[in-house]
Structure 1
Amino acid sequence: MRVTVYTGLIGFGLAGSAFHAPMIAAAEGLHLSAVATSRADAVKAAWPDAAVTTPEALIADPAIDLVVIATPNDSHASLARAALEAGKHVVVDKPFVLDIRDGEQIIALAAEKGCLLSVYQNRRYDDDFLTLAHMLANDRVGEVSLFESRWDKLRTAIKPGWREQPGPGAGLLADLGPHLIDQALRLFGMPDALTADIAIQRPEARVDDYFELTLHYGAMRAILSASTLVARPRPRFALHGTAGSLFSHGLDPQEASLRAGLKPDTQGFAQRAEHEASATLFTGDGDAIEVRYFRGNYAAFYADMADAITKGHEPPVDPADALAVMRLIALARQSAKTGARIAC
């Protein structure tokens, strides 16, 4: 008989309502018991069985086993620390923390309390990334010389909310950087060095809305970039090697489905159109080979978290990995400020 892990979610903005609540509810072994938010009506409409409460009451509730933190970035550290002090297992949305010392202390606290700690790096479960990782592991492009990971959009208007207002944890590098960096580290490990360019390009913008990081791995380069002023997005991924080049366009459709209010068990959830269902491998012989995408699965994160709690498995994302991401973001800001190549 499977043990039920009673789960409390703190935060019901976009992250909590779209990316966490549906995946918690979809994971076997987890039960979404409570949500801490001021948006009581939204919670009751989507999850009528979940109690609506405050962060303090949720953390103090003895019935809650797992606390999921999906709040603005600058509150991650304090809430994670409070939940661990209360003896709860914890999942923190990315970015893990804003201060590396906070991250080190929180990881140590989890070990001291015997609690599991993980970070929601859900882009590890994107369909295109899973496909690319498989191709790399099976040596389909040969020895890699260049990896490009780009996230482009055209959005000239400034969105309301904390992400585009000056303050800790705001800006594009803090928002998308953790995803792109984590994926690169999963594929290639820690680089030897990095160089970075970070800019504010839109006239009304007040926080960074463009970045390009170059990770140096010997002679190989990994370029990670995001922009808000690209009308026709470049390939999401491009992987170049001695045996060919793999190109992937578009985004994993899970986000669009979740934003539209679809749940993982809904028909048509996270399905690409047929003409967008494949990446393309160009070989040195001039062949163009269609490579079908693996199925993306954000819910696997929470299924793995449930197994970690109930079966003693490792958590789906080691918080040390998330801390390595934050270290590279700090080095990127240093590089962009000084114009220097920074050793990692």
Structure 2
Amino acid sequence: MTMPISAAPIRAGLIGFGYAGRVFHAPLIAATDGITLAAVASSRPDDVRAALGDVAVLDTADALIARDDIEVVIVASPNDSHAPLALQALAAGKHVVVEKPFALSLDEAREVVDAATRADRLLTVFHNRRWDSDFLSVKATIERGAIGQVVHFESHFDRFRPMVRDRWRERAVPGGGIWYDLGPHLIDQALQLFDLPQAVEANIATLRPGGQADDWAHVVLIYPDKRVILHASMLVAGGSARFTVHGTGGSLVKQLGDPQEGQLLAGVLPGAPGWGEDADPIIIHDAEGSRPLPAISGDQRGLYRGLVAATRGEGENPVPARQALEVMAVLEAAIQSSQARRAVALRRGPAATL
């Protein structure tokens, strides 16, 4: 049944209150009209209460999914639990938001999409970086034709974390490592611009002393007329641009990334003055020289605004199932390519499900 836009806020339940749940999901939901965080399932209830006050805190995901008042379940738990918990929530009749990575394999992702179709429930993936200032600025500049036809696109998510930390993301566990962590963001942004490549060629490695999981990834998406380079590393102290793009009419460089994660960590509330504003311009280089272009502001609330509209029948799913499957197809092909040390053509199934 279609709900009027003035209806009561959608009641959401969040599974997991680690970095993603605490830093991204909870504050973005709190700042988005039409949705409210009604309950959190976490093994650290004191942390949840300290951060969120009177929100209901449950010991298990099972208890949260079983609540009749929860309409949307947000899965922000460790990566290997994303698909199982999404399946459980869909079976209980809930709409579902899944943190990236959507699943650990393309087959597992297809299983979740099929379950959502059978249940007639909304399923979306938290590709929040579509609403980043750096990406929006680069996308708009390319679409304006400012550098002609793109032939080389390079996107970096680099960090400087030389010490291996004792956390599941950095252990040799299913879904651990930098490619499962940052790869989905890099892939999703590239596919928003260029659609699916013909093939993927990847080199994924562990370079830090004592590292257990991959902490360096260099992946090339192969298109007939361009190459798209996706790079992530834990050993970059500086000097690499967030985006470097070369075209038939010039080049662009976006040196710094979107500010929203840093703002959230500093306690800035989404929508506060200055939220998402990016002081770092795009630099255009062409035959006439170099010039700056102001960056577009970002706002990751766009994903939850889209979710609210879609669940009320007022808009489209912000991350449709096919797009989520396409990201998983590239993610998986890159792993296969790195292991086989050769380019891997994308694995495709029936047209409706990739």
TM range (shorter): over 0.9
CA distance, structure 2, for counterparts of residue 324 and residue 159 of structure 1? 31
1:49-64 map, 5 Å: 49-53=54-58, 54-64=60-70
What is the correspondence of 1:92-107 to structure 2 with a 5 Å cutoff? 92-107=98-113
Could you tell me how far apart the structure 1 residues matched to 2:43 and 2:292 are?
A: 47
Q: Is the 8 A contact 1:3 1:310 kept in 2?
A: no
Equivalent residue for 1:132?
Answer: 138
The yes-or-no answer on 1:87 pairing with 2:93 is yes
User: What is the alpha-carbon distance in structure 2 between the residues aligned to residue 115 and residue 337 of structure 1?
Assistant: 36
Deviations 1:94-120 (A, max 9, x none): 000002222111111111111000000
* Cα separation, 1, equivalents of 2:127 and 2:305: 14
Residue 319 of structure 1: how far off its partner (Å): 2.5
How far has the Cα of 1:312 moved from its partner?
A: 4.4
Which amino acid is the alignment partner of residue 88 of structure 1? K
Kindly provide the CA deviation profile for residues 238-278 of structure 1, in whole angstroms up to 9, marking residues without a partner as x: 11111111100112110011122322144444444x4x3x1
Separation in 2, partners of 1:114, 1:339:
41
The worse-fitting range, judged by mean Cα deviation, of 310-319 and 234-243 is: 310-319
Q: Which amino acid aligns with 1:237?
A: F
RMSD, matched Cα: 1.3
Supply the AA of the counterpart residue of 1:243: G
Separation (CA, whole Å) in 1 of partners of 2:245 and 2:47: 42
Between the aligned partners of 2:177 and 2:10, the Cα distance in structure 1 is 34
Asked if 2 retains the 8 angstrom alpha-carbon contact of 1:18 and 1:261, the reply is no
TM-score where L is the length of structure 1:
0.96
1:206 aligns with 2:212: yes
Unaligned runs of 5+ in 2: 1-5, 347-354
Contact 2:160 2:235 in 1 (8 A): yes
C-alpha distance in 2, partners of 1:47/1:228? 31
In structure 1, what is the equivalent of residue 351 of structure 2?
A: none
State whether structure 2 residue 79 is matched by structure 1 residue 77. no
Partner of residue 41, structure 1: 46
Give the match for residue 7 of structure 1: 12
Aligned partner of 1:116 in structure 2 is 122
Alignment of 1:175-254 (within 5 A): 175-254=181-260
Which of 311, 318, 341 is residue 343 of structure 2 equivalent to?
Answer: 341
Instruction: Provide the TM-score with structure 2 as the length reference.
Output: 0.93
Preserved CA contact (<8 Å) 1:153 1:233: no
Per the alignment, in what secondary structure is the counterpart of residue 189 of structure 2? helix
| CA–CA distance in structure 1, aligned partners of residues 245 and 282 of structure 2 | 11
Measured in 2, the distance between the counterparts of 1:250 and 1:210 equals: 19
Q: CA shift at 1:72, angstroms? A: 0.3
Q: Distance in 2 between matches of 1:45 and 1:266?
A: 21
Percentage identity across paired residues of the two chains: 43
Give 3-state SS (helix, strand or coil) of 2:312's partner.
helix
What stretches of structure 1 of length at least 5 have no aligned partner? none
Aligned residues between the structures? 340
In the TM superposition, structure 1's runs of 4+ consecutive aligned residues that sit over 2 Å from their partners are 265-272
Query: Deviations 1:15-61 (Å, cap 9, x if unpaired)?
Result: 00111011111111001100111222222222223100131111111
**Structure-1 separation of matches of 2:293 and 2:288:** 17
- The counterpart of 1:283, out of the listed 286, 290, 296, is 286
Partner residue of 1:319 out of 315, 318, 321: 321
Is the Cα contact below 8 Å between 1:73 and 1:169 reproduced in 2?
A: yes
**Which residue of structure 2 lines up, in the alignment, with residue 154 of structure 1?**
160
